[in-house]
Amino acid sequence: MAISNSDVMLAGLTREQLLGLHATMLLIRRFEEKAGEEYTLGKIGGFLHLYVGQEAVATGAITPLRPDDYVISSYREHGHAIVKGADPNAVMAELFGRATGVSKGKGGSMHIFDDKHHFHGGYAIVGAQMPIACGYGLAQRFAGQGNITMTFFGDGAVDEGAFHEAMNLAELWSLPVVFICENNLYSMGNALAKAWSVSSLEPRAAAYGMAYERVDGMDVLAVRETAQRAIDRARRESKPTLIEAMTYRFRGHSMADPAAYRPKDEVERWRSTRDPIMLFEQQLRDLGIDQATLSAADDRATQAAEAAAAFADNSPFPDLSALTEDVMIDPTGAIAWRRPRK
Ligand SMILES: Cc1ncc(C[n+]2csc(CCOP(=O)(O)OP(=O)(O)O)c2C)c(N)n1
Ligand SMILES: [Mg+2]
């Protein structure tokens, strides 16, 4: 259906599109809160890194992508997977370690993978996803289908050699990759000011001659516009971009972290004045969208999160026979180094 100018309400988006962004951020928020609850109840094992507070980044950056574009992320990736199209039921089931999970219950929170929606992980090794994104970008450049790769990582990943190798190769080889650093000011308990000798990523992008933009990661529309420019650059010119989205996680690093290293008033200030959902709802109210519409969207998100947890809880654990399925083996014995030494 053609969109006329009169349909557009804000930032080139229709009412329906704006409400879609709102619903997506709410779904991530309620999903993550529910996952946190289930973790405390002992339903989820291993690590669990929640995305609460950062929802505007995944929502703003991934919604303008095409279905055939790829997204690769870190271990704080449930939100990215859901925005890219993964079924929240199957993501929750993965957290519960159930056979109906996106990774058949064998990956868990840090290894969400959904090939159908081109969401390719879920990496627990800090920075690992960036050189991999370059590999995808190289393949895409050669294949010439016009699809691109977007990769998300934290401020802590920037200090890994992998970041520098990836930045250099992406620019050198003109790869259609959008790098998005979610700068939430902490890597585990380490404050940014104690880790970086510079206060932004701009000089690091400049070191590799790469286009750079900094954006308010709590402003979903700003993220969307910034991401759109980078996506266009990747698709039309096969050029990478480094985006630094300034954001904040409202919870600890993982469920195991009481986050005692952050001043309470700092956390409170971000929560009460910079919550991305709260800020966007204010923008929507200013456009004349009523509170009842916003509250109904919140109720739907809560119901979806509860339904996902119920689906996960009612799903079976993987069968023991699944243990050796999808595992890389060497049936021919051709790879000599895999053989045990005599
Ligand atoms: C190569 C490597 N080193 C260390 C770790 C342990 N580790 C896990 S998360 C993390 C902090 C990363 O912080 P950041 O990149 O800012 O992401 P955030 O958790 O803030 O989203 C560290 C050091 C790891 N998983 N991999
Ligand atoms: Mg961080």
Q: Which residues, by Cβ under 5 Å, contact ligand 2, an ion?
A: 154-155, 184, 187
Whether 206 maps to a domain, the answer reads: yes
Residue 190 predicted with pLDDT over 80: yes
CB atoms within 10 A of CB 250: 19
3-7 average pLDDT score: 73
* Predicted confidence band of residue 6 (pLDDT cuts 50, 70, 90): confident
Q: What percent of the chain has pLDDT over 70?
A: 95
**Burial category of 279 from C-beta neighbours within 10 Å (exposed 0-12, middle 13-18, buried 19 and up):** middle
Q: State how many domains the chain has.
A: 1
105 lines ligand 1 (CB under 6 A): no
Distance CA 258, CA 243 (A): 29
Whether 9 maps to a domain, the answer reads: no
- CB-facing half-sphere around the CA of 191: CA atoms within 13 A: 8
Whether 51 maps to a domain, the answer reads: yes
Residues 49-86 have pLDDT tens digits of 999 999 999 999 999 999 999 999 999 999 999 999 99
Whether 141 maps to a domain, the answer reads: yes
Distance CA 54, CA 37 (A): 19
pLDDT score at 7: 86
pLDDT score at 332: 72
Q: Which tops the pLDDT comparison, 339 or 241?
A: 241
Domain CATH code at residue 58: 3.40.50.970
* Predicted confidence band of residue 335 (pLDDT cuts 50, 70, 90): low
Which position has the token pair 């014995």? 333
Q: Which domain holds residue 87?
A: 16-338
311-339 average pLDDT score: 80
Rounded alpha-carbon distances, angstroms, from residue 155 to 32, 56, 71, 149: 21, 17, 18, 19
* Helix pair 291-313, 88-95: axis angle to 10 deg: 50
Distance CA 4, CA 56 (A): 26
* Predicted confidence band of residue 324 (pLDDT cuts 50, 70, 90): confident
Mutate to test the pocket of ligand 1, among 32, 76, 126 (most ligand atoms within 8 A of CB): 126
Rounded alpha-carbon distances, angstroms, from residue 107 to 24, 48, 125: 24, 12, 14
pLDDT score at 325: 85
> Cβ distance 227 to 11 under 8 Å?
no
Whether 2 maps to a domain, the answer reads: no
Ligand 1 centroid from CA 170, angstroms:
22
Write the residue with the smallest CA distance to atom 21 of ligand 1. Answer: 154
Pairing of strands 8-10, 13-14: antiparallel
Ligand 2 centroid from CA 261, angstroms:
13
* Predicted confidence band of residue 1 (pLDDT cuts 50, 70, 90): low
**What integer best gives the mean pLDDT of the chain?**
95
Whether 10 maps to a domain, the answer reads: no
Q: What is the CA radius of gyration of the chain?
A: 20
Whether 3 maps to a domain, the answer reads: no
* Predicted confidence band of residue 336 (pLDDT cuts 50, 70, 90): low
Nearest ligand 1 atom, CA 124: 25
126-152 average pLDDT score: 98
> Which amino acid makes up residue 39?
Y
Residue 91 predicted with pLDDT over 60: yes
CB atoms within 10 A of CB 23: 17
pLDDT score at 327: 79
